[in-house]
Chains A and B, each alone.
Chain A
């Protein structure tokens, strides 16, 4: 029995899409040139509500060999029985045609994708940053944009770099912190052990004494 999902997926595959499935969610990967025709075909098939447009950066995804970015359109029908994810894969610098002609409500969603991932949409009436401040350069949800964590300074004089701390716990590598700070006084703590100030001072004296002996 033809449901909007089956019709829509069939129409997209006819335009050159490849179908994927994960845990009862259907996605179709379209080539960039077929995007607007594909979305129009989906609207005609009955999937006329656009839920979300968002971008994905596969830069540090282990085992990913395709293009760097993917933009995903999440459409469903009014009865919400069928939901389809339309994916378009892009490289850095490629742009997509805008879908504001089909859904005026895609305006903010495309602006958010532009702001966060950096994908431009040709023909968008007002493509500019929506969430981040005007003086922030870069696109935060890219994997090469650091989280921007500032280290935590404790009273005893040690400071904790959150990414290193987390890496110590989870065994993953630190990633980017984006903290470009200068030298700080104190010891860098990577483990959550609490050394009280007297212990810290005696440890420091020990280390200095050993250094002095080593020089001699």
Chain B
């Protein structure tokens, strides 16, 4: 019996904290965070600044977002750039559900984060009510540098180095436990 317990404890050690799995996890963290491919979800003015973040001056490709995949099946992160109207909300949910896990969402701009200056019948007041948002970027529109900073913060979150506002560490995203 004591032998069995010892055996179970060894397996747990190997699964949790062993050297091999630790470096595998590091590899996964490095790979995921440095190759975040966004899906093209530009809606309005913020889309132009998102395009400006990919141009030669503020090159977002050097941070890993080399290509904006048109197909959500090949993308990791959805940058909601622009005001989300209530007619577009089901479409956005569908695109989000088509993305494979692990996936993240950056809500870019004031309109996506809170409805912005449009507090009316047509605009969804916070994109978080449709998809779970990881990073909010304020601005109307946010500068391309702000978007790049947001992508860098998301990379920290992907690697498990992020903290919430109370100071507790946010876990690294496993991918399959989020709705």
Contact = CB atoms under 8 A, between A and B. Distances in A.
- The answer on direct contact between A and B (beta carbons under 8 Å) is yes
Interface stretch (B99-107, B118-126, B151-159): B118-126
A187 interface: no
Contacts of A140: 121-122
Interface string B58-87: 000000000000000000000000000111
Contacts of B87: 132-134
A149 B120 contact: yes
Given A132-B87, A133-B86, A178 B121 contact: yes
A145 B120 CA distance: 11
A197 interface: no
A132 B123 CA distance: 11
Nearest to B115: A150
Contacts of B115: 150
A199 interface: no
A200 B85 CA distance: 37
A165 to B, nearest CB: 11
A148 interface: yes
A136 B121 contact: yes
Contacts, number: 26
B121 A146 contact: yes
B178 to A, nearest CB: 26
A162 interface: yes
B86 A150 contact: no
A195 interface: no
Interface residues of A, number: 14
Nearest to A162: B119
A122 B52 CA distance: 46
Nearest to B90: A133
A148 B125 contact: no
Contacts of A178: 121
Interface in B16-50: none
Contacts of B122: 132, 140, 148
A150 B120 CA distance: 7
A149 B86 contact: no
A150 B115 CA distance: 10
A34 interface: no
A207 interface: no
B127 to A, nearest CB: 15
A147 B120 contact: yes
A136 B87 CA distance: 9
Contacts of A152: 119
Contacts of A162: 119
A133 B124 CA distance: 12
Interface in A125-143: 132-134, 136, 140
Contacts of A150: 115, 119, 125
A162 B122 CA distance: 16
A134 B85 CA distance: 12
A136 to B, nearest CB: 7
A148 B85 CA distance: 13
Contacts of B85: 133
Rank and list the top 4 A-B pairs by shortest CB-CB distance, nearest first: A148-B121, A133-B87, A149-B119, A148-B120
20 contacts: A132-B87, A132-B122, A133-B85, A133-B86, A133-B87, A134-B87, A136-B121, A140-B121, A140-B122, A145-B121, A146-B121, A147-B119, A147-B120, A148-B121, A150-B115, A150-B119, A150-B125, A152-B119, A162-B119, A178-B121
